[in-house]
Structures are given as structure tokens and as C-alpha cells.
Structure 1
Amino acid sequence: MTASLRIAIVAYESVLPSALYGLGEVFSAVERFRAQDDSVRPVEWRYLLAGQEGLPSTLPCWHADECVDVVILPPCCAGQRPLCPDWLAAWLHKQHQHGAVLASACVGACVLAQSGLLDGRVVTTHWLLEEMFHQQFPNVHLNLDAVVIEEADLITAGGIMAWLDLALRIVRRYYGATLVAQLSKYLLWDSGEREQRYYRRFQPPKQHGDDVILKLQQWLETHYHEPCPLSQLAGLAAMSPRSLQRRFQAATQLTLSRYLQHLRLEKARELLETTSLPVEQIIWQIGYDDRASFNKLFKAQLGLSPLAYRQRFGG
């Protein structure tokens, strides 16, 4: 009999219930689909309790001294972020040292980051967590364009519902593409590749404490469609162009031209999603006049052409 694939799903008090039980359903389905074939590795999944309040006492659980092959850190309910107490950090390090693959979805990456296991690694998480990660975990390198990033010992997934992408990636690793295709049909879930940048929105950093730059940001939000020469912006800020460039980038981590580009692209996305305006008219409204160069910029930033974006997200 082939040894079981042992999977631990960490259950914190704030865990998203759909992820907590949905992950178990995915791995239970793997057991059903492998059709009692002794040549296919069985799945043995249980939970590791990282909290008690609000969690059913009937959850099948691993003992903390047992070793597993895969550890999954699920997402939390909206607005919640799990903590990583010392005992959990020590347990994660122990599992990793024994060869376990560490896997997280959304804020589950925060637990791994708190444990120090993500230092120097390239990972993904929800795009809304970018500023917090940069501040609290500066040694972690984010790639927020990706929905899933997979390495030999680490798999990270982006959004709140990316726990399903994560589960399917784990199944693909250990059971192959055929079983993933069966699961996708069973779950009615598109397992095709996509990127988080399709969904990511521009969140202008405004908690930097520089009132002059904040006022300029507010001005740009209503005048983004106009020509905005550096000399004019420097006059509004009452400083030299060079000083403005340096101060603006220090506050926002973006150059003025890049910031303006983000504002215009964000407005283009809004118009593509909510109106039937021709693309040429949208381009004109946001301050561009060359469709070819705009199409190239839009696809480089968002991974889709304007027409493909409208087909996917238009109302």
C-alpha cells in the first residue's frame, strides 16, 4: 500500500469557513476520484487547531508532534488577519525542516511571514496587503501579479477565494493534470491560468504624512486627463521640479509620470467595465491620443488588451 499524502489545514479562530471546509471537500473528492486504486497515493487530511473559540470540537485534528507532507494556511474572514504564536512558528519550522511543503492563501501568507519562513522568498498574497507587507515584512519579496507562485517547498496564492486555486495546484503536484481536470468539472471551477493583476486596483498611498504631496495627489485625481507638465506641478507644490520629483517618490514610491499613468489606467478600467463607450473615446477622455501606444501600455500593465478586459469584466 502506497504511503498516504498527509495534509494539515491550519484552523485559526478567524479562518474563512468556506476555505476551512472547502479544502477538506477537495481532498475528500481526491479520495473518491482515485477509485480505490492502490497504485495512487491516498490522501489523509486533518486540521491543526491554532485557536479554539468558534471552531467545532468535532474537527479531525493532527497532534502537534506528528509530521505531515503539506501544511495549508487558509484565508481569514474579511478584515481579519491571523497571528502566529511562538508554538505555531516552531511547529511550522519543524514541518519545513522535515520536508513539508508550506502553502498559503491570501492572509495565510502573513502567518508564514511572521514565522520568518518567507524571508528572502518571492511570494504572492492579496493585492490589498501590499503596503502592510512592505512595512511589516520588508525581507519578503511580493509578486502581486500572480494568482499562484509555486516552488519546491512553498506555494502561495493570492485572493480570498484563491484557496481553491491552491488546492488544485497541490493536487496537480501530487496526482497530475488528469485528476485536476476531473476535479475542475466536479467543482465547476475553471482551473485555467489567470493573473491577479487582472483584478488588482490602484490604491494610491496616502498615509505618508506629507501634506504638500497629499494635496498634489488630490489635485491629480481630478485633473489626470489634462496635460500635467512637471513645471506646472512644481508650481502647484511651490518647489523646484527636482525637489518635487524626489519628495513625491519618497512619499508614494512612484515617480510622478508613473503615478499619473496609474490614475489614467484606473479610470480606463472603470469606463471599460461600466460603459459601452468606444475604446477611442475612452482613450481621449483619460488624456491619451494614440490607441496603439495605449493598447500596448494597458496590456503591459494589466495582462489583457482593452477589448479583452471589457469582454471579461464589462457589465
Structure 2
Amino acid sequence: MGAELTKAALTGPAEIGIVVYPGALMSAIYGLTDMFQVAGMQSLEQGGAAAPQIRVSHWQLMEDGTVRKTVDTHPGPSSGLGALILPPTLADLPVGKRMGDLPAWIREQHAGGTTICSVCGGAYLLAESGLASGRTVTTHWSHQELIANRYRDVRIDTDKLVIDEGDIITAGGMMAWINLGLKLVDRLLGTAVMLATARFMLVDPGAREQSYYSVFAPRLDHGDPVILKIQHWLHGTSTKGVTLQMMAERAGLGERTFLRRFQKATGLNPTEYCQRLRIAKSRELLERSYLSIEQVAWQSGYDDTNAYRKIFRKILGVSPKEYRLRFSVVGGTRHATA
């Protein structure tokens, strides 16, 4: 957390934007705004005046189709959006021409390194932007068939409450904004502040206690568009069989140049980055399936189960079996059929 404190002191509060579009659920918009302000209070209480904060801004779709900032809790110069939330809706779906410049604006923020988050019906707006193409997203179960039919290249998994792919995070039901909000607090301010925020607001952090183990939150705001493009590709595809040569060719760079730029931008070499993506996927399988450890290893991109166990322990500090015993939300020991 020390690094986060130093970064916050140098660059100011991390900014989270919330989109306000016609029909958006205002309780979610104001609830998230309040949660992030409570988190700031808890951060100050724990870390003093130099503790990191969250800056909240509202970005409204205007009648002329443009997008403008209408609320800012910390007015002044901004270093850019760290995350952008597309809230749920109870009314007309956020699709079609009436969304104006909003889908293109969302794409622009993502291209600049902003993590895009959707809640419930906000997944339509994510799909309208094109960023859900080839991805697996979650939403409310009642939207599953509609989204699947409208956006054929989007995979829907409504069994999961939250799917975190690093650069895109989707949350399921209407009240899943609570889960998303706590996840972002955990990512930006740390687990201790997240738990204090949950206690203050009398909401259950539940399985988010897994955050006591390291969470892979890749750097996306490094300013290298070529490397960011490769990151987006890696997050949206299986990394099994992906080689340094393949990544370098896709980036249009020589291998040594690509390796140097990737390391500089992300702080990890490409092999380590792919390993962390695979382990993040395996954590979801361990938490939410009855698959055996061998099956989890295979579906995560590892042919060698022993190698998978060693890498898992190296990154998280526990074995896959210990992790499952502690964080499984399905219960029991029944294994799925291969």
C-alpha cells in the first residue's frame, strides 16, 4: 500500500467517472458516489492527511448527443479517468442513436487506459461501444438472451456476479454496484479501507475477502498505445500458446524492442503478464466450479499441473487446493465430469 500512497501524493486522487444517461438508475449513481466518499473518509482515518483519495465525476449525455462533466468532487486539473462506470437502467435500454457520442467517447477513454465497468443493464452500453466484442461479460439474468441476440460476438456468463478482466469489469444484478464499488475501493485504496467502508455502510464484503491475496490490476495508463493494444488483446483471448514472437509481430516490433517496451509499460515481462492472466482465470474456476485441480489447470492454459501449482503458489502464496478451501462459493467437493 505504500506505493499507492506515494503515487496518490504525487498525482492526486484517482478519478472514477460515472456515466449519467437517460434512464440510468440514479440510486446506483448516487450510491456509488456516496460509497467512494465514505471510502475516502476511511482512508483518511487510517492513513492521515497523506492517505489516497478517490475523485468522483459524473459524465452526462446531453440532449445534443455530446458528453460533459457535470459533477466533480475534486474540481481542478485531472490526470485522467482511472475507471469509468456504466450504471444499470430500469427504463429504455441504452442502445441506438439516442446514445449519441457516448459509445465512441467510452471507446476513447478505454483506448487511453481507463478501466471500463458496467453494472446490470449497463452491459448494453458496453456492448454498444464495441469493447465487449470477443469478451465474456456478466449482467442481470433477464438481459442474457437479449444481449446474446443483439451482440453475437459477446459471451454472456450470468452465473458470475463480477467478471474482472483488468481493463473491463462487469457486474451482474441491479444492486451489484455495491460489489463493483467495493472492488474498485479495494483496488485503489487497499483491502483495509475496503473492509472499513463495508462495515461503515453495513454491507457484506463476502467473498471479496479473497483480496487479502494479491489482485492482478495491470497498468493500463502507461501511455504506450502499441503495448496497450497488445494488453487489450491478451485480456480478450486465451493466452495458451501465445509466444513472445506472436506478440511482437502483432505489435509490429522486433522481439527485443517489444520486450523492452512491454516491461517498461507494465512492470512485467510478457511471460509473467500472461501467467498472471491465467492465474486470475483459474481463481475464478476454483471459486465457482467443481472442476478438479487438473481440469482447472487445463482450462487456465496449463498442460502441466505441477507447473501450474508452482506458479499459483508463487503468485498467491497458497496452493490451488488451499485457495479453493478458503474461497470456494459453491461448497462441497463434487467434481464436474470431464
For normalisation by structure 2, the TM-score amounts to 0.52
Alignment of 1:171-190 (within 5 A): 171-190=185-204
Decide which of 72, 75, 79 is 2:85's aligned counterpart: 72
Deviation at 1:94, TM superposition (A): 1.2
Contact 1:2 1:39 in 2 (8 A): no
Contact 1:13 1:52 in 2 (8 A): no
Decide which of 153, 156, 169 is 1:139's aligned counterpart: 153
> What residue in structure 2 maps to residue 22 of structure 1?
31
Deviations 1:149-203 (A, max 9, x none): 1121011000000011110111111122111110111111111139xxxxxxxxx
Change (3 A) 1:83 1:51: farther
Question: RMSD between aligned alpha carbons?
Answer: 2.8
Change (3 A) 1:124 1:73: same
Contact 2:119 2:176 in 1 (8 A): yes
> What residue in structure 1 maps to residue 118 of structure 2?
104
> What residue in structure 1 maps to residue 15 of structure 2?
6
- Secondary structure of the equivalent of 2:206? coil
Deviation at 1:39, TM superposition (A): 4.4
Change (3 A) 1:28 1:81: same
| CA–CA separation in structure 1 for the residues paired with 2:80 and 2:10 | 17
Number of aligned residue pairs: give it.
Answer: 193
| Displaced runs of 4 or more, over 6 A | none
Change (3 A) 1:51 1:15: farther
Which stretches in structure 1 are left out of the alignment for 5+ residues?
195-301, 306-315
| CA–CA separation in structure 2 for the residues paired with 1:136 and 1:126 | 15
Deviation at 1:60, TM superposition (A): 1.2
Larger Rg over CA atoms: 1
> What residue in structure 1 maps to residue 55 of structure 2?
44
Which stretches in structure 2 are left out of the alignment for 5+ residues?
1-8, 209-328, 333-338
- What is the percent sequence identity of the aligned residues? 32
Deviation at 1:137, TM superposition (A): 0.7
- Secondary structure of the equivalent of 1:162? helix
Contact 2:85 2:118 in 1 (8 A): yes
| CA–CA separation in structure 2 for the residues paired with 1:58 and 1:123 | 27
Deviation at 1:304, TM superposition (A): 6.2
Letter in 2 for 1:93: R
Change (3 A) 1:58 1:132: closer
| CA–CA separation in structure 1 for the residues paired with 2:49 and 2:113 | 24
Letter in 2 for 1:13: P
For normalisation by structure 1, the TM-score amounts to 0.56
| CA–CA separation in structure 1 for the residues paired with 2:19 and 2:135 | 21
> What residue in structure 2 maps to residue 128 of structure 1?
142
Contact 1:2 1:42 in 2 (8 A): no
Matched, 1:82 2:94: yes
